[in-house]
Structure 1
Amino acid sequence: MDLSSLLHDLRLSSSPSEKPHPSPPLPPITELLSWLQKKLIGAADKPSESSSLIGQVAQLFKAADPDWLFSLAPDDQNSGWEELQVAYSSVISALIGCAALPLCENDSSSLSAEAYRSVPSQAAAVSSALTALLEHWDKGGRARGKVTKLVFIVAPPICVFSITHFQLQDQVWTSAASRTAARRLHEALLRAGGWTDSAHLLMGDRGILGGVLDLLQPQLTKDSWQRCEAMKLVFVWTLLQVTRPFLSPHLPLLLPPSLLLNDHYKPENCMLGVRCLHHIVLNTPAADLRQFNRAEVLYQALFKHLYTSEAAVIQLVLSCLLDLLLVLEKPPSSLGPSCSRRKPCRHDDVLRLVLTHMEAEHKVALRRVYVSALPLYVERMGVSVCRHLRRVERVVLGYLEVRDPPEETSRLKILEVLQRTTREAWPRMERRVDAFLPSLLRLLVDVSSDSSLGDPVRRQLMDQSSASIRLLDACSHGRVQRLLQRVDDSCCGAEVLGCLATAERSPVTPGGGALGQTDS
Structure 2
Amino acid sequence: MELSSLLHDFHLSSSSEKPLPCSSLPPITELLSRLQEKLIGASSDSETSSLIGRVERLFQTADPCWLFSANGDEEWAELQAAYGALVGALIGCAALPPCEDDCGSLPASVYQSIPGRAGPDQVWTSSSSRAAAQSLQEVLLRAGGWRDSSHLLMGDKRREEQGGEEGRRSRGLLGGILDVLQPQLTKDSWQRCEAVKLVFSWTLLQVTRPSLSPHLSHLLPPSLLLNDHYRPENCILGVRCLHHIVLNTPAADLRLFNRAEVLYQALFKHLYTSETAVIQPALSCLLDLLVVLEKPPLSLGPSSSRRTSCRHDDVLRLVLTHMEAEQKVALRRVYASALPLYIDRMGVAVCRHLRQVERVVLGYLEVRDPPEETSRLNILEVLKITTREAWPRMACRVDVLLRCLLKLLVAVSSDSGLSVSVRQTLMNQTCLCLKLLDGCCHGDVQRLLQQVDSSCCSSEVLSCLATVTVTNS
TM-score of the superposed pair, with normalisation by structure 1 = 0.75
Question: What does residue 132 of structure 2 align with?
Answer: 181
- Report the counterpart of residue 254 of structure 2 in structure 1: 289
Task: Return closer, same or farther for 1:407/1:82 CA change in 2, 3 Å cut-off.
Answer: closer
Structure 1 range deviating more: 366-375 or 101-110 = 101-110
Q: Cα offset for 1:305?
A: 1.0
Q: CA deviation at 1:101?
A: 2.5
Aligned match of 1:352:
317
Amino acid at match of 1:507: N
Rounded Cα–Cα distance in structure 1 between residues aligned with 2:50 and 2:117? 15
Q: Which consecutive residues of structure 1, in runs of 5 or more, have no partner in the other structure?
A: 15-23, 122-164, 509-520
CA contact (8 A) 2:270 2:278 kept: yes
Higher relative contact order (CA 8 A, sep 6+): 1
Which region of structure 1 is more displaced relative to structure 2, 192-201 or 471-480? 192-201
Q: Which amino acid aligns with 1:25?
A: E
Corresponding position of 1:458: 423
Is the Cα–Cα contact under 8 Å of residues 227 and 266 in structure 2 kept in the other structure? Answer: yes
Aligned CA distance change for structure 1 residues 33 and 345 (closer, same or farther; 3 Å): closer
1:192 counterpart = 2:192: no
Distance in structure 2 (CA, Å) of the matches to 1:74 and 1:413 = 61
How far 1:25 moved relative to its partner? 2.2
**How many pairs does the alignment contain?**
441
User: 1:340 touches 1:383 (CA, 8 Å); kept in 2?
Assistant: no
Quick check: 2:98–2:192 contact (8 Å CA) kept in 1? Answer: yes
Task: Name the amino acid aligned to 1:210.
Answer: G
Change (3 A) 1:320 1:458: same
Counterpart of 2:152 in structure 1 is 201
Q: 1:326 to 1:56 in 2, by over 3 A?
A: closer
Corresponding position: 1:299 with 2:269: no
Out of 357, 361, 375, the residue aligned to residue 396 of structure 1 is: 361
Residue pairs, 1:349-388, within 5 angstroms: 349-388=314-353
Partner of 2:185: 220
Cα distance between partner residues in 2 of 1:392 and 1:406: 25
Quickly say closer, same or farther: Cα 1:491–1:210, change in 2 above 3 A.
Answer: same
Q: How much has 1:195 moved relative to structure 2?
A: 1.8
Label 1:299 to 1:174 Cα distance change in 2 as closer, same or farther (>3 A): same
CA distance in 1, matches of 2:348, 2:57: 71
**What corresponds to 2:383 in structure 1?**
418
Per-residue CA distance 1:369-418 (angstroms, 9 max, x = gap): 10100001110000010111000000000000000111101001000001
User: Aligned equivalents of 1:7 and 1:94: distance in 2?
Assistant: 23
Cα gap change, 1:119/1:71 in structure 2, threshold over 3 Å: closer, same or farther? farther
Of 382-391 and 224-233, more deviation after overlay is shown by: 224-233
Q: Does 1:312 align with 2:277?
A: yes
Q: Which residue of 2 aligns with 1:409?
A: 374
Query: Higher mean Cα deviation, 296-305 or 493-502?
Result: 296-305
Contact 1:355 1:392 in 2 (8 A): yes
Q: Report the counterpart of residue 151 of structure 1 in structure 2.
A: none
Compute the displacement of 1:90 (Å): 7.3
Q: 1:279 aligns with which of 223, 237, 244?
A: 244
Q: Cα gap change, 1:60/1:382 in structure 2, threshold over 3 Å: closer, same or farther?
A: closer
- CA spacing shift, 1:339–1:504, aligned 2, 3 Å: farther
The corresponding residue for 1:435 is: 400
Taking the aligned partners of 1:244 and 1:72, their CA distance within structure 2 comes to 31
Q: Aligned to 2:138, what secondary structure does the other structure show?
A: helix
Give matches, 1:261-276, under 5 Å.
Answer: 261-276=226-241
3-state secondary structure, aligned to 2:99: coil
When residues 120 and 428 of structure 1 are mapped into structure 2, their CA distance, relative to the original with a 3 A threshold, is: same
Residues 1:471 and 1:115: Cα distance change in structure 2 (over 3 Å): farther
CA distance in 1 between partners of 2:270 and 2:262 (Å) = 13
Greater Cα offset, 25-34 or 355-364: 25-34
Distance 2:43 2:90 in 1: 8
Match of 2:17 in 1: 25
| TM superposition shift of 1:313 | 0.8
Pair 1:109–1:475, CA change in 2 (3 A) = farther
Q: Aligned-pair distance for 1:38? A: 7.9
The 3-state SS of whatever aligns with 2:208 is coil
Q: 1:102 aligns with which of 97, 113, 124?
A: 97
Amino acid at match of 2:94: A
Larger mean CA deviation between 233-242 and 93-102 belongs to 93-102
Which residue of structure 2 aligns with residue 117 of structure 1?
114
Q: 1:482 to 1:116 in 2, by over 3 A?
A: farther
Quick one: structure 1 residues 352 and 195, their matched pair in 2 at CA, closer, same or farther if it must change by over 3 Å?
same
Deviations 1:18-67 (A, max 9, x none): xxxxxx92586879989977886676853x776687568757865x4x55
* Structure 2, unaligned runs of 5 or more: 10-15, 156-169
Identity %: 71
